[in-house]
Structure 1
Amino acid sequence: MEYESKESVHNKALKIKGKTQGELAKELNLKVNSNKNLMGDIFEAWFGKEKDNKSEPDLGVSELKATPFKKLKRKTNGNLYSSKERLVLNIIDYNKLDKESFDNSHFLHKNRVLEIAFYEYLENISPDNFEFKYIIMYQMQKSPKDFEIIKKDWEIIQDFVHKGKAEELSESATNYLAACTKGANKNSKRQQPHSNQPAKQRAFSFKNKFMTYLLNEKVIGNKHDDAVIKNSIELKNNSLEEVIEKRFKNYVGLTDIQIAKKLDVNLITTKNKAPKNFHNMIVRAILGINKNNGNLNNIEEFEKSSIIPKTIQFDSKGINKESMSLNYFKFCNLVNEYWDDEDEMAVADLNIYLSESKFLFIVFQEDENGNNILKGIKFYTFPKELINGPIKEVWEDTKNKVKTGVKLYYDGNHVHNNFIKQKNNMIIHVRPHASTSSYVNSSSSSRLPTPAQWTNKPADFDDNFMTIQSFWINNTFIRKVVKNLISKKTDA
């Protein structure tokens, strides 16, 4: 069947809504196997399209994509639904990319109109019951701000190729559009221009966080975030990072009180203490968004681009006491992950998170008189050698200990474990994520795949449950990252 317009494609796609994988496989006479992307095959078969590697959009007028989402157990940044993975688009031909401009690029030609079918992923449920829930026609050019950021991301990826450094590409180098690894295995390589060194095969993709935002804003209608960029014109000659840096520039060197007065941030205090999340409120005011909200996560561009904002407090001696918590993990999921497996359904969450994320550290430091000064900001992405070096070591150590049985010791007051600690100086460490400890089945605990090896176990504790844990970035490592922002006379 031929489709003469993107609207006709969309109307056909809407008719798949509510149908399950099992129903469709039978209806379309498709063979069910272990193919994890069967829903993608089904969506194409729904249109009578056979699988191919053509450079044209699937149906001439639209590119077809099926992607999973999941319902969260609790709201995160105001959202109850999350995309399960990035949306992989087309394979990157480094040689062709080198000669293109964005406006005549293969990427834009193929992905200008995306017909996206969201299906719900359910844990411990047969894929036969996966159901197509939401259908959208996404045209990136109809969202001018997003389009400008996507264009600059494409140009950043192209610049790596221009410089003969395609092998150095990483997903954290860009904001919405990424160059993700894509191949049969980690040895899948492609030749690149301007260098004799083969580079990993990669594909353009929309980041997981971008897809989550798209799902909640365009599909579910849960639009709640504030936007830093009010007009796409601001992005014509500046990257998102440059826009943010310019916003902070005029306030570096001022105290938090001075900034608050300039931007009319609420200074009402209780017991002579600043309001809770005072520095977050200041940061939001500097960025030109709702300053009465103390949450730095509910910011549109940060949500879409995997920018992780964090205010860092230093004392007059140049010491920051706080380590930074990352996402918590479930023990049973951790033992089934692989660090760098090309099957992205199994790759470690920690690897994906650090590879995709860009951290925005906003640094405050007290002077000798007790004034708290904004010292500056720094964008930071973790280099691959650290992710695949000491960070991977901590992840592997944690996985192995959970798999063989974590060792727990009760001293009469507290439970101690044998996970890597902050004092081991491994960039990251493991510690509790929950506010209360729990060694029974509760909302503060997670099931262990192998019973714990206890010493002095209390009678009412369960071998099979342990307090929820997460990985944390060491405060000492953060200190090294932002050391150039701290006054030289107080450097630690």
Structure 2
Amino acid sequence: MEYKTKEEVHNKALKIIGKTQHELINELGLNIKGHKNAMGDVFEEWFGKAKDNKSEPDLGVVELKATPFKKLKRETKGRKYSAKERLVLNIIDYNKLDNEKFNTSHFIHKNKVLEIAFYEYFKDLNSSEFFFKYMVLYQMKKSPKDFAIIKRDWETIQNFVKDGKAEDLTESATNYLAACTKGANKNSLRKQPHSNVMAKQRAFSFKSKFMTTLLNDYVINDKQSEAVIKDPIELEKNSLEEIILQRIDKFKNMSIDYIANEFGINIRKFDGHLIKNSNNMIIRALLNLNRTNKGIDDVEEFEKAAIIPKTIQFDSKGVNKENMSLDTFKFKDLVKEHWQDEDELADSDLNIYFSESKFLFVVFQEDENGINVLKGAKFYSFPRKLIDGDIKKVWEDTRSKLMNGVELNYDSKRNRVTNNFIKQSDDMIIHVRPHAGKSSYIDDNNSSLLPVPAKWTNKPKEFSNNYMTKQSFWINNTFIKEVVKDLL
């Protein structure tokens, strides 16, 4: 069947909602087994589209994409769902990309109109029972602000190629549109112009955080965040990062009391002490967000671009006492993870987090008189060598110890339990430590179920072999100081 309009494609797609993979395979008489891309294959077959690698959009007027989402174990920022993975688009031809213009590029020609089929992923359900739940006809140009940021991302990727540095591309180098690896062996290496160094084959992709926002804001209609950029015209002259840094640096080396007064916000209690989230309130004011004492991560651009904003507080001696916590992990989930998938794409939660994320560090420091001063801000992406170095080693060590039984020791004199996970003193960029209201070695809200019984020394009678205080990965404060020392 020939499709003449995008609306015709969308109406056809809506008729697949609620049908399971198994039902569709039988209905269409397909010979598709439950492999990773089965839902995508079924979706294309629904339109009578044979699998191919053509440069044209799948149906001439629309490119077809199927992608999974999952229900969160607990609500995050008021949201119940997130994308399970990035949305991979077309393979990048480095030689062609070198000479293209964005508006006439192969990327735009192929992906300007996407019919995206969202299906819910269930960890404990056979994939043959998965079914399509939402359809969205996504047109990049209909969101001028997103389109401007995507254009900047495309140009950033192109500049790596023009500079002969395609081998240095990373997903965290861009905001919404990324260049993800595609293929994991020597046969997937590609030539690039301007360099004799072979580069990994990569594909354009929308980051998983961008897909999460697309799902919640435009499909489920559950928009929770506000935006830094109110007018897309701002993005014609400056990148998202430049706009953010310009707004913050305008008040660089000024006290937070002075900044608060300039914006008419109250950061002190009746007794004169600072409100707990005073630094966050200052940042929200500088970025032209609502003047509340909320955090600074519920921002549209931050959510879409996987930007992790963090305020770093130093004392007058240049010491930042706080390590930076990441989300807690469930022990039984961690041991089932793999660091990478067959295409060398980040697969474990920790690898995805560091591969896709870009940190916005905003630095404050008290002077010798106790006055807190904004020292500046910078963006930082973790280099691949650190992710596949220390960070991977800590992840592997944690996973191995959980699989073999974590070692726990009760010290009765200090009434304290120690474990054999990597500690901050091991100086490995990140470490593992508790992330709970209080320690617990029984089944309650502060503990998590172990995949293998713990190996105890001096175990108290009331403690269990099967539960341990919730843990998370933490970024060492000494590493953070090294990253931002140029702002002090």
Category of TM-score, reference length = shorter chain: over 0.9
For 2:233 and 2:118, the matched residues in 1 are separated by 32
Aligned equivalent of 1:229: 229
Residues 409 and 458 of structure 2 are in contact (CA less than 8 Å); yes or no, is this contact kept in structure 1? yes
Aligned equivalent of 2:444: 442
For 1:113 and 1:93, the matched residues in 2 are separated by 20
Q: Which amino acid aligns with 1:411?
A: D
Aligned equivalent of 1:378: 378
Residue-by-residue CA offset, 1:238-261 (whole Å, 9 max, x unaligned): 110000011112210110111001
Q: Which amino acid aligns with 2:473?
A: F
For 1:135 and 1:415, the matched residues in 2 are separated by 50
For 1:313 and 1:59, the matched residues in 2 are separated by 54
Aligned equivalent of 1:489: none
Residue-by-residue CA offset, 1:351-402 (whole Å, 9 max, x unaligned): 1110111000000000000000000001100011111111111111111111
For 2:17 and 2:336, the matched residues in 1 are separated by 32
SS in 2 for 1:215: helix
- Output aligned runs, 1:249-268, within 5 Å: 249-268=249-268
Aligned equivalent of 2:164: 164
Residues 403 and 450 of structure 1 are in contact (CA less than 8 Å); yes or no, is this contact kept in structure 2? yes
For 1:168 and 1:422, the matched residues in 2 are separated by 30
For 1:291 and 1:206, the matched residues in 2 are separated by 31
Task: State the Cα distance separating 1:435 from its structure 2 match.
Answer: 2.0
Residues 297 and 308 of structure 1 are in contact (CA less than 8 Å); yes or no, is this contact kept in structure 2? yes
Residues 77 and 297 of structure 1 are in contact (CA less than 8 Å); yes or no, is this contact kept in structure 2? no
For 2:154 and 2:68, the matched residues in 1 are separated by 25
Provide closer, same or farther for how the CA distance between residues 293 and 28 of structure 1 changes in structure 2, counting only shifts above 3 A. Answer: farther
> Which structure 2 segments of 5+ residues have no match?
none
SS in 1 for 2:71: strand
Aligned equivalent of 1:22: 22
Task: State the Cα distance separating 1:341 from its structure 2 match.
Answer: 3.3
Tell me if 1:78 matches 2:78: yes
Residue-by-residue CA offset, 1:272-321 (whole Å, 9 max, x unaligned): 32122111011000000112142111001000000000000000000000
Task: State the Cα distance separating 1:32 from its structure 2 match.
Answer: 4.2
Aligned equivalent of 1:410: 410
SS in 1 for 2:326: strand
Q: Which moved more, 1:266-275 or 1:476-485?
A: 266-275
- Output aligned runs, 1:317-332, within 5 Å: 317-332=317-332
For 1:343 and 1:286, the matched residues in 2 are separated by 41
Q: 1:477 aligns with which of 451, 476, 479?
A: 479
Q: Which moved more, 1:303-312 or 1:258-267?
A: 258-267
Aligned equivalent of 2:430: 428
Residues 39 and 66 of structure 2 are in contact (CA less than 8 Å); yes or no, is this contact kept in structure 1? yes
SS in 2 for 1:198: strand
Aligned equivalent of 2:240: 240
- Output aligned runs, 1:277-356, within 5 Å: 277-343=277-343, 347-356=347-356
Q: Which amino acid aligns with 2:449?
A: R
Aligned equivalent of 2:57: 57
Residues 34 and 127 of structure 2 are in contact (CA less than 8 Å); yes or no, is this contact kept in structure 1? no
Residues 359 and 381 of structure 2 are in contact (CA less than 8 Å); yes or no, is this contact kept in structure 1? yes
For 1:436 and 1:73, the matched residues in 2 are separated by 21
Q: CA RMSD in A?
A: 1.4
Q: Which amino acid aligns with 1:97?
A: L
Provide closer, same or farther for how the CA distance between residues 28 and 439 of structure 1 changes in structure 2, counting only shifts above 3 A. Answer: farther
Task: State the Cα distance separating 1:187 from its structure 2 match.
Answer: 6.0
SS in 2 for 1:284: helix
TM-score, structure 2 as length reference = 0.97
- Output aligned runs, 1:181-196, within 5 Å: 181-185=181-185, 188-196=188-196
Residues 445 and 467 of structure 1 are in contact (CA less than 8 Å); yes or no, is this contact kept in structure 2? yes
Residues 113 and 138 of structure 2 are in contact (CA less than 8 Å); yes or no, is this contact kept in structure 1? yes
For 2:384 and 2:41, the matched residues in 1 are separated by 33
Provide closer, same or farther for how the CA distance between residues 188 and 333 of structure 1 changes in structure 2, counting only shifts above 3 A. Answer: farther
Q: Which moved more, 1:105-114 or 1:291-300?
A: 291-300
For 2:267 and 2:232, the matched residues in 1 are separated by 33
Provide closer, same or farther for how the CA distance between residues 433 and 185 of structure 1 changes in structure 2, counting only shifts above 3 A. Answer: farther
Residues 432 and 471 of structure 2 are in contact (CA less than 8 Å); yes or no, is this contact kept in structure 1? yes
Task: State the Cα distance separating 1:349 from its structure 2 match.
Answer: 1.5
- Output aligned runs, 1:82-121, within 5 Å: 82-121=82-121
For 1:349 and 1:343, the matched residues in 2 are separated by 16
Q: Which amino acid aligns with 2:475?
A: I
Q: Which amino acid aligns with 2:167?
A: E
TM-score, structure 1 as length reference = 0.96
Tell me if 1:463 matches 2:465: yes
For 1:92 and 1:418, the matched residues in 2 are separated by 44
For 2:163 and 2:239, the matched residues in 1 are separated by 19
Aligned equivalent of 1:180: 180
Provide closer, same or farther for how the CA distance between residues 186 and 326 of structure 1 changes in structure 2, counting only shifts above 3 A. Answer: farther
Q: Which amino acid aligns with 1:102?
A: F
Task: State the Cα distance separating 1:345 from its structure 2 match.
Answer: 8.4
User: How many percent identity over aligned positions?
Assistant: 66
SS in 2 for 1:133: strand
**Aligned residue pairs, count:** 486
For 2:443 and 2:27, the matched residues in 1 are separated by 43
Q: Which amino acid aligns with 1:103?
A: N
> Which structure 1 segments of 5+ residues have no match?
487-492
